[in-house]
Amino acid sequence: METNCADGSSPHSSEEVFSSDKSLQNEKGVESTREGNWSDLTEQALVDIFSRLNLGERWNRASPVCKSWFKASRDPFLWHVVDFEQYFGRTRENAFWWTVEFQKKIDRMVKIAVDCGGGNLRELHVRHCSDESIAYMAQRCPNIQRLSIKTCQNVTDTSVCQIASGCYKIEELDISYCYNISHASLEKIGANCKYLTTLKRNMLNSLDPSEHRDAIPTEYINMAPLSGDDEATVFAKYMPNLKHLEIKFSKLSPKGLRILVDGCPNLEHLDLFGCLNLRSRELDEVTANAKNLKVLIKPNFFIPRASFNAERYGHWQLYDERFQTNAFQI
Amino acid sequence: MAANTVTFRGLRDEEVYEDFEVEKAVAMESEVVKNFIEKDTGMEPLRFPIPCRNIKSGKVLEMVLDYCKFHAHARSFTIPDDDVKTWDNEFAEKALSADKNQVTFCHILLAANFLQIEDLFCLLLKAGADLLKDKSVEELRQIFKIENDFSEQEEEAIVQETKWTYA
């Protein structure tokens, strides 16, 4: 914060100091003849005020007020973090979110956020968008570090490969419940995104569909990838720096788990909730040597030893492993 | 003007000036004044009143200087943070309710900007943000006496493209 005059010379008198237009931020200054009101507030002051509002308040209340407020609300400074998850998370999964109409809307909103943020965008949390907006983002936001695109039924390997090539700074990636992303693009992510330490690739609970009743199309629930082991191989080979991994309800086998744990020695947090094919003893054996593992979330269910077929039993209940007894053995 | 005081000269209206004399410590709450005093060597600092042409009225300058007085006092007497916060909140309230359209509030904010009084500037920005919360677009326009310079179609387009729907 200088008090030099505009031409860089030192001030000789208080007259000179205070006749110059210096202030905390670059401001145009207010004409002394006008009364002055909020639309006169320097853009920087407005941007600062807007930074204290949440996304919805900025977007829906402040930006339509007038043109100068609209312009301030689009300042890149306000678009480091774009979090739609706060709105999705307020209600249960909703059937409307699975419609094409909603997807188009979300795609448009993501594109606006990308246009505003560009290289400033560091974090994006959204659901139900498609390849269209994700590819758009991947081409324009090289500095993104945390990306959450859960339940995006129409995000495929196409745009995830673009993320891999455009967004090398990614540290955290959540692609939970995106069943049209395969391990093929995850391989590219691993190969190009060397800073990636957190990956969430959770699947929906297919054992107890009542959780998603009326919201998620049944055919979608049934198309969960079965390639738990293939993905484990990708993680081990291409993402050795992983620290935090969540793969709830994955079809990972004990063999795949071993590959994973051996290949990712830096794992500190591993969430295997609902991984039906893993049993307690095998889990303990395999993870015994994982030196850095601090949090291990176990599959935490009980299935009678004799059978694994979901069709045989009409209704699964999940029991805490502590209550397992031999009485259930068949 | 005594050696330990600084005079701020504010506009009461178009022609008439009003001078406010404060202790140097108070004036140093303003970063601009502080830098000027600290950089000055030899010459008696601020022999002349500081002309505050960008500050709209004497009332605004008076309130700004009240803030500076309290904070300079709080600094030297180490008043507890909670008490300072309470005073600050009351000040912000006063500034907001000084007139119907927050004109005074805006002017104080701009004055804080002009004189580089960081804490005051931040305090008022936060108060401004709190004021914006939970208001509809129309309410915001009314409160801050802002003219809508969007056409109906433009405004509708903006609203539609960002409206969140829970269908």
**A264-314 tens-digit pLDDT:** 999 999 999 999 888 888 888 888 888 899 999 999 765 444 434 444 444
CA distance readout (Å), A99 to A96, A111, A188, B160 = 5, 18, 29, 18
Contact between residue B63 and residue B94 where contact means Cβ atoms under 8 Å apart: yes
Nearest Cα residue in chain A from B34: A3
Query: Which of B114, B131, B138, B145 should we substitute to test contact with A (largest number of A Cβ atoms within 10 Å)?
Result: B114
Mind listing the pLDDT tens digit for each residue in A248-261?
Answer: 999 999 999 999 99
**Gap between the Cα atoms of A241 and A226, Å rounded:** 24
* Cβ–Cβ below 8 Å for A109 and B162: yes
* Cβ–Cβ below 8 Å for B121 and A30: no
Instruction: Name which of A51-60, A112-121, A225-234, B48-57 the model is least confident about.
Output: B48-57
**Gap between the Cα atoms of B140 and A62, Å rounded:** 8
Contact between residue B38 and residue B32 where contact means Cβ atoms under 8 Å apart: no
Mind listing the pLDDT tens digit for each residue in A173-196?
Answer: 999 999 999 999 999 999 999 999
**Gap between the Cα atoms of B60 and B105, Å rounded:** 8
Establish if A39 touches chain B: CB-CB under 8 angstroms.
yes
Mind listing the pLDDT tens digit for each residue in B132-154?
Answer: 888 888 988 887 778 899 999 99
> How many CB atoms are located within 10 Å of the residue A195 CB?
11
| pLDDT score of A316 | 46
Query: Which of A13, A50, A65, A109 should we substitute to test contact with B (largest number of B Cβ atoms within 10 Å)?
Result: A65
Mind listing the pLDDT tens digit for each residue in A97-110?
Answer: 999 999 999 999 99
Mind listing the pLDDT tens digit for each residue in B69-126?
Answer: 999 999 888 889 899 999 999 999 898 888 777 778 888 888 888 888 989 998 998 8
Q: What number is the average pLDDT over the span A44-68?
A: 88
Gap from A330 CA to chain B (nearest CA, Å): 48
CA distance readout (Å), A222 to A161, A179, A216, B87 = 25, 10, 11, 61
Gap from B76 CA to chain A (nearest CA, Å): 24
User: How confident is residue A150, by pLDDT bands cut at 50, 70 and 90?
Assistant: very high
Q: Which residues of chain A make contact with B148, given a CB cutoff of 8 A?
A: 65-66
Residue A130, helix vs strand vs coil: strand
* Cβ–Cβ below 8 Å for B166 and A13: no
Least Cα distance to A225 among A246, A249, A260, A198 occurs for A249
Establish if A4 touches chain B: CB-CB under 8 angstroms.
no
The whole-model pTM stands at 0.76
| Average pLDDT of chain A to the nearest whole number | 81
Distance of CA A105 to the CA centre of its chain: 19
User: How confident is residue B128, by pLDDT bands cut at 50, 70 and 90?
Assistant: confident
* Cβ–Cβ below 8 Å for B129 and A52: yes
Gap from B122 CA to chain A (nearest CA, Å): 9
Alpha helices by DSSP H, B16-151 = 24-27, 31-39, 58-76, 81-97, 103-115, 118-132, 137-143
CB pairs under 8 A between A and B: 150
Least Cα distance to A301 among A324, A281, A269, A284 occurs for A324
Gap from A152 CA to chain B (nearest CA, Å): 17
**Gap between the Cα atoms of B105 and A49, Å rounded:** 14
Q: Which residues of chain A make contact with B133, given a CB cutoff of 8 A?
A: 53, 57
